[in-house]
Structure 1
Amino acid sequence: MFITKRQKEIYQYLKDHIRDKGYAPSIAEIGKQFKLSSPATVHKHLVHLESKGLILKHQHLSRAIEIVDERSIDVSPREYTVLGHIVAGKPIEVLENREVMSFLPDPGNTNVFVLRVKGNSMIEDHIKDGDYVIVEKRDSANNGETVVALLENERATLKRFYKEADGVRLQPANPNMSPIFLRQGDFKIQGVVIGVMRKF
């Protein structure tokens, strides 16, 4: 389960508001609390929380937000250092930095790292420039999975993985960009993408 720090804050605000007043805050109240001028942005956060099973929204009813039974849900965020940038267009070296992201990992799956995406070669897979990809550390992948592949032990790239008769194909999700064909031994899989985060 992955939610951003802001979504965690909104979730906590919903809990506190319902506990203290007996009903959920309105979209406008949530926006005011977090200085979000666009109701659409608030709505996106709520949709994400509902998709993760943390809240339940009743359509067409004002303030109709319920907190799902949280006894089985660990909502304590964990902090992960963003290891660097990965270009989704052309391979580059992974750049070191100290940016920290706070999110909720899948229960029992903490063997992950985070990279920030540069470029739009994976745009048709809804991975955009500036997004963060959550990567499970693995040294193998299945056909069609999006991988972080290390080339020549120096450069990393983000592509879909496909096995070919004489090697592998790293396929961008952008019709304007060409795939990368490699022989076994010319690359190393660092991990498989299991989630994407976007800051609003």
Structure 2
Amino acid sequence: PMWNSPLSRLEHLRNKGYVDWTDGKARTLRILHQKPKGVSVIGELKGGELVEADAEEVEKIDFAPLMKKSSVFALRVMSNDLVDDFIVEGDMLILRSVTGEEEIEDGELVAARIDGRANSTV
């Protein structure tokens, strides 16, 4: 269809159920039925077997707040040296910079630069 005005486009979206507003009031436009943002959790691994989640009850994990921090960066794994930690070649690690040991919890996997040399340790 030919669109004559922005209002006709909005009315079309309203008729389809995507948006709504209060007639006669300014700034009441709202988006309806927005899909949840994030990464879908499609199931669980138990004993090496995949247990798929019910398609209608898929959980979403939103990483957007984490990604807004300037201290977050990624490293690509180029070997299988960390296979015991279930990290294999081709994986992408999302990491955050810390300023001192007090920010590191026992048992956390750490990629560390010590005296200018990069090392990874547990």
> The TM-score by the shorter chain falls in which range?
0.3 to 0.5
TM-score, normalised relative to structure 2: 0.44
Q: Which has the bigger relative contact order, CA under 8 A and spacing at least 6?
A: 1
TM-score, normalised relative to structure 1: 0.29
Max radius of gyration: which structure? 2
